[in-house]
């Protein structure tokens, strides 16, 4: 393969941090929206609701976490405080918290219960702390509110053990004084880096990028190397939800479809960052539980399709599952999660055993690595003009998907790949794509093949492949 042009190689030299690598490998994790809004049957509370309203009769954090784990999730992020300002832990910075409620006699701590449950079930724990607070009097005052917010952030990052994610959105409405707050994002980030250096900061943060909608839709190609301007938290906030209108959760914008192709990056080559995408959506129309939506839990087929597009589209998948006012997940949500986990495991179990050969270099263990990554990746020779991996089966197989992944410790290098299948020497194109990154799952109508070839036809530098797999057709 001929050496890549200098601008293309420069793109491949942008690499993820250790915290971004660890986050990407999580692939799929959950969001739990639970709080005062659950009790008042709202999405965006206005603040000042009486703490006495918060009194779940049967809160069971183990049920929440076990249900998420049954779906194949690896972590859970809890809404520790939403825009209404009511805290799910006894905060020293405000009386507006569970400590002022009758739940657990005023001695309860939802954050502690979820963090402990996550540890018991082997999931990582993350926190969401709304920057907007509709109850706190100092909101809109500038530095005084920043002090308040940092005090609460510090509590969450020092009391509950390791945190894998600090999830920040851009909601910014008026406070009790009629003013909006200008958030000191850099100060918030510095606190996270100091107290939880392994945590990624998501969405309005420098580590993980919002995919751009809450509907579960994904881009045709998701690139992790993008212009630094996309890290601007205020830019993200400007296209985030601005009102509780019941529409935004399923709204899909048609702009920003290409963020990282060479054409999209033209002129930005000297100011690029590694900023991978997260796909976030809810299992129901709302983010908080509403009894009226009990019949609107997304079916397993729909959830699995989103999972395939997200986890199989160089993104991670964040799925929200809201407990009801009694403190338990409803049976329909639990059933959907369990069904999704079984679907994912069944899909993985259909990997077709194969022998791998390559056009140059040695294949390492890329053909046996998935799900996972190779201990020894495949790097073709720099002179290999059409690098390819060939999987040969022990006989004809009906296949309906393939998996391809790069070793992203070496950056994102593949720009186009064509997958072809052969049956008794007759070749057909099964799929092709541009961006690959950490992982790409490509599906197609089931086809008979005894051989599958992954041919990399365009790169930014010599590709480094971590996994290839063919997936047999389901029954």
Residue-wise pLDDT for 273-308, tens only, equals: 999 999 999 999 999 999 999 999 999 999 999 999
Burial of 137 (0-12, 13-18, 19+ CB in 10 A): middle
For residues 35 and 84, is the Cβ–Cβ distance under 8 A? yes
pLDDT of the residue at 267: 86
pLDDT of the residue at 244: 52
In angstroms, the CA 208 to CA 259 distance is: 14
pLDDT level of residue 400 (50, 70, 90 thresholds): very high
> Which residues share a beta bridge with 455?
388, 418
- Closest listed residue to residue 286, CA positions, set 339, 214, 341: 214
Does 255 score more than 80 pLDDT?
A: no
Sequence-distant (6+) residues with CB within 8 A of 273 are: 14, 206, 225, 226, 227, 228, 230, 231
pLDDT of the residue at 234: 76
- Closest listed residue to residue 34, CA positions, set 397, 286, 384, 346: 286
pLDDT of the residue at 247: 44
For residues 458 and 401, is the Cβ–Cβ distance under 8 A? no
* DSSP assigned state of 228: G
Residue-wise pLDDT for 124-156, tens only, equals: 999 999 999 999 999 999 999 999 999 999 999
pLDDT of the residue at 14: 96
User: What's the CATH number of domain 33-349, 3.40.190.10, 3.90.1150.10, 3.50.50.60, 3.20.20.80?
Assistant: 3.20.20.80
pLDDT of the residue at 252: 33
pLDDT of the residue at 320: 98
pLDDT of the residue at 238: 58
Structural domain boundaries in the chain: 33-349, 355-472
> Which residues share a beta bridge with 451?
392, 422
- Closest listed residue to residue 136, CA positions, set 152, 117, 121: 152
Sequence-distant (6+) residues with CB within 8 A of 254 are: none
What are the φ/ψ torsions at residue 335 (nearest 5 degrees)? -65, -40
Max CA-CA distance within the chain? 75
To the nearest whole number, what is the mean pLDDT of the chain? 93
Structural class in CATH, domain 355-472: mainly beta
Give pTM, 2 decimals.
Answer: 0.94
In angstroms, the CA 307 to CA 344 distance is: 9
Least confident of 62-76, 254-268, 346-360, 455-469: 254-268
In angstroms, the CA 190 to CA 385 distance is: 45
Helix (H) or strand (E) holding 158: helix 143-159
As a whole number, mean pLDDT of residues 237-241 equals 55
> Which residues share a beta bridge with 429?
420
Does 1 score more than 70 pLDDT?
A: no
In angstroms, the CA 45 to CA 288 distance is: 11
Least confident of 84-93, 218-227, 250-259, 453-462: 250-259
For residues 393 and 444, is the Cβ–Cβ distance under 8 A? no
As a whole number, mean pLDDT of residues 84-111 equals 98
pLDDT of the residue at 143: 97
Does 210 score more than 70 pLDDT?
A: yes
Residue-wise pLDDT for 6-52, tens only, equals: 478 889 999 999 999 999 999 999 999 999 999 999 999 999 999 99
Residue-wise pLDDT for 306-364, tens only, equals: 999 999 999 999 999 999 999 999 999 999 999 999 999 999 999 999 999 999 999 99
Using a pLDDT cut of 70, give the percent of the chain over it: 95
Residue-wise pLDDT for 112-124, tens only, equals: 999 999 999 999 9
């Amino acid at each position: 393969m001929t050496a890549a042009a200098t601008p293309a190689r420069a793109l491949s030299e942008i690499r993820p941090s250790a915290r971004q690598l660890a986050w990407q490998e999580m692939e799929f994790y959950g969001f739990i929206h639970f709080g005062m809004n659950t009790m008042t049957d709202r999405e965006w509370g206005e603040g000042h609701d009486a703490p006495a309203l918060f009194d779940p009769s049967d809160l069971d954090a183990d049920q929440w976490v076990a249900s998420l784990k049954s779906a194949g999730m690896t972590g859970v992020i809890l809404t520790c405080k939403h825009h209404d300002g009511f805290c799910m832990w006894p905060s020293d910075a405000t009386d507006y918290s569970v400590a002022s409620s009758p739940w657990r006699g005023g001695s309860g701590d939802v954050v502690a219960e979820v963090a402990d449950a996550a540890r018991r079930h082997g999931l990582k724990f993350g926190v969401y702390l709304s920057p907007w607070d509709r109850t706190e009097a100092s909101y809109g005052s500038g530095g005084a509110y920043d002090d308040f917010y940092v005090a609460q952030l510090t509590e969450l990052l020092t009391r509950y053990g390791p945190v894998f994610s600090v999830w920040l959105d851009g909601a910014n409405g008026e406070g009790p004084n009629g003013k909006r707050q200008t958030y000191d994002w850099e100060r918030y980030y510095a606190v996270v880096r100091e107290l939880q250096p392994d945590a990624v900061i998501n969405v309005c943060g420098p580590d993980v990028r919002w995919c751009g909608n809450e509907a579960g839709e994904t881009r045709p190609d998701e690139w992790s190397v993008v212009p630094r301007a996309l890290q601007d938290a205020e830019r993200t906030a400007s296209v985030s939800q601005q009102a509780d209108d019941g529409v935004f959760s399923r709204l899909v914008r048609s702009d920003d479809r290409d963020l990282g192709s060479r054409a999209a990056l033209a002129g930005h080559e000297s100011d690029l960052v590694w900023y991978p995408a997260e796909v976030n959506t809810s299992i129901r129309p709302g983010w908080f539980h509403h009894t009226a939506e009990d019949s609107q839990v997304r079916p397993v087929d729909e959830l699995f399709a989103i999972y395939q597009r997200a986890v199989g589209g160089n993104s991670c998948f964040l799925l929200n599952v809201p407990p009801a006012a009694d403190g338990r997940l409803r049976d329909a949500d639990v059933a959907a999660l369990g069904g999704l986990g079984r679907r994912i495991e069944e899909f993985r179990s259909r990997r077709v055993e194969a022998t791998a050969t390559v056009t140059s270099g040695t294949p390492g263990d890329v053909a046996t690595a998935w799900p996972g990554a190779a201990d020894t990746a495949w790097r073709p020779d720099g002179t290999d003009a059409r690098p390819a991996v060939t999987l040969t089966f022990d006989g004809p197989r009906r296949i309906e998907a393939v998996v391809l992944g790069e070793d992203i410790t070496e950056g994102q290098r593949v720009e186009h790949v064509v997958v072809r299948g052969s049956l008794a020497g007759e070749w057909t194109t099964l799929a092709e794509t541009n961006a690959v990154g950490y992982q790409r799952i490509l599906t197609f109508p089931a086809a008979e093949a005894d051989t599958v070839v992954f041919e990399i036809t365009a790169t930014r530098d010599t590709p480094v492949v971590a996994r290839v797999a063919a997936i047999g057709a389901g029954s």
